[in-house]
A and B are shown apart, each in its own frame.
Chain A
Amino acid sequence: MSKRTALQIAAYGIVCLAILLVPSFMDDAFILNKYARYLVLGILAIALSLSWGYAGILNLGQAASFGLGSYAMAMALKLRTIPVHTGEAGLPDFMVWNNVETLPWFWEPFYSLTFAIFAGVAVPVVFAVLLGSFIFRGRVTGVYVAIITLAALVVVNLLIIDQQRFSGGFNGITDLAQLELFGLTFDAYSMSSYYLIAISLTVSLFFALAVTKSKAGLILQAIRDHEERVRYFGYDVARFKTFAFAVSAGIAGFAGMLYTIVMEFASPTFLGVQLSLSVVIWCAVGGRQSLLGAALGAIVVTGMQGALSESEIFLETWTLIMGFTFVVVVLFLPKGLAGAIEMLVDRIFRKDDAVPDKSSVAADRCGVESKAGAPR
């Protein structure tokens, strides 16, 4: 293990510990719920960082996986509500309003919570594998990947809004039961939910870190820096990219499920273009090539947004400032704040790590040149 990896693990561990310790200083249920929400979005940012920062796949449709996960959880929790507003069959209320007589077949399995949790990860993964192998087998790269993923997101979003009878349409799925797992009840406004999410964040972070440190992770970074060269080495580039795309989708779907638990509803905005592009902002500001940076970027940006949202005028100015910050970061700090910090750390440890540092710069340069030529 290199010194850098050790340092990285230490930093990740300290941050996760700090997050886990928050409830010991703070026991306001409302504030904890807010923090839990930011942490979930942090997990979503980790997912994007994995595909964008490490594999070079700018996925503008990350929210599609997030939303699918969120709906899977919401469907299961909806079926567990006591049917107050509905008929004897116990149909979800919005189906009754839309004159649906029987529960559609794809809702049936969601009576099982285990299935729902499985589906919340598996559906986005399967979707990502299909879409990913479709685009990467065709060697579609760069901006075209961004456009395709964005288009796919819009399609999923439109379909969910359009199928109001089965999905609740614009309103989404509301009035959910609380999640009960292993004899624990996860009330959105409780310590248990916060811990569930804080632990999930820790697990996701270290899982993603393990992926990036694995051999596949190294090959993915090589693909990001110079795809052609890795192909000449005989690696199946499309398969590796699809792998990264799918893992990232799985983490995003997982985050989506957690989001339903803290928000107590699922809505089409969870797979909206707005959210999807916001994730890109968080990653860019925090540092796309650092999982921790991306997560902290998401937590800090959404946290500030939440803090300022109490006052209307502040929120509006905030959006303006955020847009400005984003443009400045893209222009001058392509690796985000984490990149800047890493550069400082590298400078301190330069004597130890001088050689790998140089080679990575060289690889970066190749990557930039090949990218600059690509879209024409």
Chain B
Amino acid sequence: METILAQIVTGLSIASILLLVALGLAIIYGTTGVINLAHGEFVMIGAYTAWALQTYVGIGLIESLVVIFFTVALFGWIIEKVVIRHLYRRPLDTILATWGIGVMAQQAIRLAVGGELRYVEMPSAMSSSVSILGLEISAFRLFILALSALIFGFTWYLMYRTSLGMKLRAITQDREIASCFGIKSKRIYSLTFAYGAGLAGLAGALVSPLKSVSPEMGTTYVVDAFMVVVLGGVQSLVGTVASSAILGELTGFLAFYSNDTMAKVLVFCAIVVLIRFRPQGLFAAKVRT
């Protein structure tokens, strides 16, 4: 019983990180249709910003979260303005262009601060563990869980209770008609992209104390996050949460019963089959093409 509970908690912890990375990706993909392979690099830049702030300015991780969000969001906004803007009519090419941007970002970081691993310190208040139901759980992991829930709540509010969110949903349903009603779709797209990038940056900052920070760290996240988005379905926030949870728990459990590699193989096979039969994802919202 205790091992099962421990497994569930491990799975939840994986899921919360997945959710943070995938939420931004899901919003970008759902709204603009852009397959953003540079998303992993947004995560990486978030982690490096956290590292830089801690090392050179001396600000702790929690205090710097807001700065990190806006730094990476700005980065995403610039990329949207310079490159992505030209590619909305060519979705396949966005894969290529964003991958090129990812390569550049990785290399730029490697040239600027070196390719060696960096470490970010965990906030001292959260380095201990908390005991819940007889289980010892790292306080920082709980914090990530809580924060990802909070960020999800905020995003949901933004999407469904503000006029920005309403415009965004209108554009997703039908860009031309929305534009006819005077919604500035270009501006909304830029904002969406920046917001998604910012979320990825936050995710990077939050995982930085758990894993080492390196220029290549984003690559692993982007593939997993993609699988979450594909599984969850386009433009479905609830779907993103559910599929993060499913994939997190599934990876946790399969890794427990066989090994990490086989767990990944099985998850990937399942996703291939899923795309084949339900390309719109498990929890797809109705979207007009």
Contact = CB atoms under 8 A, between A and B. Distances in A.
Interface string A359-376: 000000000100111111
B104 A323 contact: yes
Contact of A277 (B99, B276, B279): B99
Nearest to B234: A376
A154 to B, nearest CB: 6
A323 B107 contact: yes
B83 interface: yes
A353 interface: no
A133 to B, nearest CB: 11
B72 interface: no
Contacts of B271: 151
A143 B35 contact: yes
Contacts of B269: 155
A359 B262 CA distance: 50
Interface string A147-159: 1101110110011
B42 to A, nearest CB: 16
Interface in B237-274: 259, 261-262, 264-265, 268-269, 271-272
Interface string A123-147: 0000000000011001010111011
Contacts of B184: none
Contacts of B95: 58, 60, 143, 146
B111 A320 contact: yes
Given A58-B95, A155-B269, A320-B111, A148 B276 contact: yes
B87 A323 contact: no
Interface string A306-334: 00000000001101101110110011001
Contacts of A284: 96
B269 to A, nearest CB: 6
B31 to A, nearest CB: 10
B91 A371 contact: yes
Contacts of A108: none
A20 interface: no
Contacts of A39: none
Could you tell me the dominant secondary structure of chain B's interface residues?
helix
B262 A162 contact: yes
B275 A147 contact: yes
B111 A322 contact: no
Given A140-B279, A324-B100, A327-B100, A376 B289 contact: yes
Given A143-B35, A143-B95, A144-B279, A372 B100 contact: no
B93 interface: yes
Given A146-B95, A323-B103, A154 B110 contact: no
A280 B271 CA distance: 23
Interface in A269-299: 273, 277, 280-281, 284
B186 interface: no
A320 B107 contact: yes
A331 B81 CA distance: 13
A199 interface: no
A334 B90 contact: yes
Contact of A330 (B88, B96, B102, B110): B96
A325 to B, nearest CB: 8
A326 B103 contact: yes
Interface in B95-146: 95-97, 99-104, 107-108, 110-111
B86 interface: yes
B90 A368 contact: yes
Interface in B171-208: none
Measured as residues with beta carbon below 8 angstroms from the partner, the interface class of chain B is 35 or more
A316 B111 contact: yes
A371 B96 CA distance: 15
B223 A280 contact: no
B51 interface: no
A148 B275 contact: yes
B87 A331 contact: yes
Contacts of A96: none
Contacts of A316: 107, 110-111
A60 B86 CA distance: 23
A323 B37 CA distance: 13
A373 B275 contact: no
Given A316-B111, A319-B107, A373 B289 contact: yes
A327 B90 contact: no
B60 to A, nearest CB: 32
B272 A148 contact: yes
A213 B95 CA distance: 29
Nearest to B289: A376
B111 A317 contact: yes
A327 B101 contact: yes
Nearest to B270: A151
Contacts of B20: none
Contacts of B88: 372
Given A148-B276, A158-B261, A280-B96, A323 B91 contact: no
Contacts of A324: 100, 104
Contacts of B277: 138
Task: Please give me the 4 A-B residue pairs with the lowest Cβ-Cβ distance, nearest first.
Answer: A323-B104, A323-B103, A326-B100, A327-B100
Given A331-B83, A376-B289, 17 more contacts: A138-B276, A143-B35, A146-B95, A147-B275, A148-B276, A151-B271, A151-B272, A154-B268, A158-B264, A277-B99, A280-B99, A281-B100, A316-B111, A326-B97, A326-B100, A327-B101, A373-B289
22 contacts: A135-B276, A140-B275, A142-B92, A143-B35, A143-B91, A143-B92, A146-B35, A148-B272, A148-B276, A151-B268, A151-B271, A154-B264, A155-B272, A158-B265, A159-B261, A162-B259, A316-B110, A319-B103, A320-B107, A322-B103, A376-B287, A376-B288
Interface of A: 58, 60, 134-135, 138, 140, 142-144, 146-148, 150-152, 154-155, 158-159, 161-162, 273, 277, 280-281, 284, 316-317, 319-320, 322-324, 326-327, 330-331, 334, 368, 371-376
